[in-house]
Amino acid sequence: AGMRLYGGAQYHRAMAEFRLVVGSIKCPPITREEIVNACGVEDIHDGTNYSRTACVIAVAKACDTFEPFLHQQLSFRLLYILKRLSPISVFLLEKDGEHFSSHDVLVKRVQAAFNRFAESTEQSCRERCMEDLESTTRYVTWSLHNKNRAGLRHFLDSFVAPEQLCANTHTAHSAGLHEQSTGLNDSKQDRPKGELKSSHTSDSNPSGGVSETRLVDLLDNTLWNRRLAPSSERLVYALVHQIFHGIKEHFLVTTELKFNCFLLMPIVDKLAALLREDLESAFEDDLDSIFSVTELRHSLGQKKRELEIELKQMKRLKEKFTEINKKLNSLQVRQQA
């Protein structure tokens, strides 16, 4: 933080800090009131679409969180870095003994043109980034924000309470043991081995019944009633956090890419040509604006008048000193006489 960086190094440090700060942002807290307000009513039935609720909350949180970082933190800071390039370049040239120009008006003209170029380029790049942010927070694409279904599936699997899961597992396991013992008894009554094996294989696996029970409980708690159960809140929280995380990653990647392409690269590609066109048009159309001939003539006339006044004052002083010298000489002659 204490290093004196210029130009590209300062730009890349600002981008690195932006990635660090925005990348470490967590989803803002979600209140029960926000979930209830975002539920709304569907146009076909009176059920609650919690995926829609999560999308509404996530995009609102993302827009309110990331927009200030784009405007106040990154854009203004990078514009400040760009505007500092001009005086730093002039200073480094003078330090190396290569004077950019001895005419101050020309230097100011180039600096003003560079500042206009930096401001217009930064505004255009910021508008592009705002379009990306608005499009990302306007419509949620699950292929973009939900990179894999494993995380969401793992979360949905954890909805059923542990005691309910244990109870279902215990019931299914007991049923499996009962069927297994029945099969063994049947085998003692000379049942064929193949039939015993198939019966045991189809009836002793409890995973299907447990999954169906958990799925029915999840649907009953989330989709088939308008009561905001704790499981519904957890579902909305998980979806909001997942969508918010996807928007954040997409926002970081697109913002960095946009600023590199439409703010940093135009300095390399377009700046020299734009400065040359600006100076050539000024030379052709308005030469006084570059060298300020009228202002220079006025300043030279003012200096001439000041020198004339100073010359008259010096002549008066000279006459006074001459008179004083004459009086002193006359007094010395009288004293000698």
pLDDT of res. 285: 67
CATH of domain 8-154+227-288: 1.20.120
Least confident residue range of 109-118, 188-197, 253-262, 322-331: 188-197
CA 19 to each of CA 74, 159, 212, 251: distance values in angstroms, whole numbers, following the listed order:
10, 34, 43, 10
In this prediction, residue 186 carries a pLDDT of 45
The pLDDT value given to residue 69: 94
Q: How far is CA 205 from CA 168, 174, 199, 215, 246, in A?
A: 13, 11, 11, 17, 38
Are the CB atoms for 238 and 35 separated by under 8 Å? Answer: no
Gap between the Cα atoms of 303 and 307, Å rounded: 6
User: Residue 72 above 60 pLDDT?
Assistant: yes
- Distance of alpha carbon 47 from alpha carbon 113, whole angstroms: 60
Choice between 259 and 96, residue whose per-residue pLDDT is larger: 259
pLDDT tens-place string over residues 175-196: 444 444 444 344 444 444 333 3
| Interacting residues of 134 by C-beta distance below 8 A, sequence separation 6+ | 63
Give the pLDDT of residue 249.
92
pLDDT digits (tens, 9 = 90+) for 199-219: 333 444 555 566 666 666 666
**pLDDT tens, 287-317?**
655 556 666 677 788 889 999 999 999 999 9
Domain map (residue ranges) of the chain: 8-154+227-288, 157-222, 292-336
Element (H, E) at 171: helix 162-188
User: Using an 8 Å Cβ cutoff, are 237 and 30 in contact?
Assistant: yes
Which pLDDT score, from 0 to 100, does residue 47 have?
Answer: 67
d(CA 25, CA 73): 14
* pLDDT (average), residues 53-82: 91
Matching residue, tokens 């704790």: 230
Q: Which residue has the tokens 């470490």?
A: 24
**Is it the case that residue 325 has pLDDT exceeding 60?**
yes
- State the burial class of residue 160 (Cβ atoms within 10 Å of its Cβ: 0-12, 13-18, 19+): buried
C-alpha distance from residue 95 to each of 87, 91, 92, 169, 172 (Å) = 12, 6, 5, 80, 84
**What's the pTM value of the predicted model, to 2 decimals?**
0.62
Task: List the structure tokens of 214.
Answer: 């958990």
DSSP assignment string, 94-158: HHTT--S-S-HHHHHHHHHHHHHHHHHHHHHHHHHHHHHHHHHHHS--HHHH---HHHHHHHHHT
pLDDT of residue 280: 81
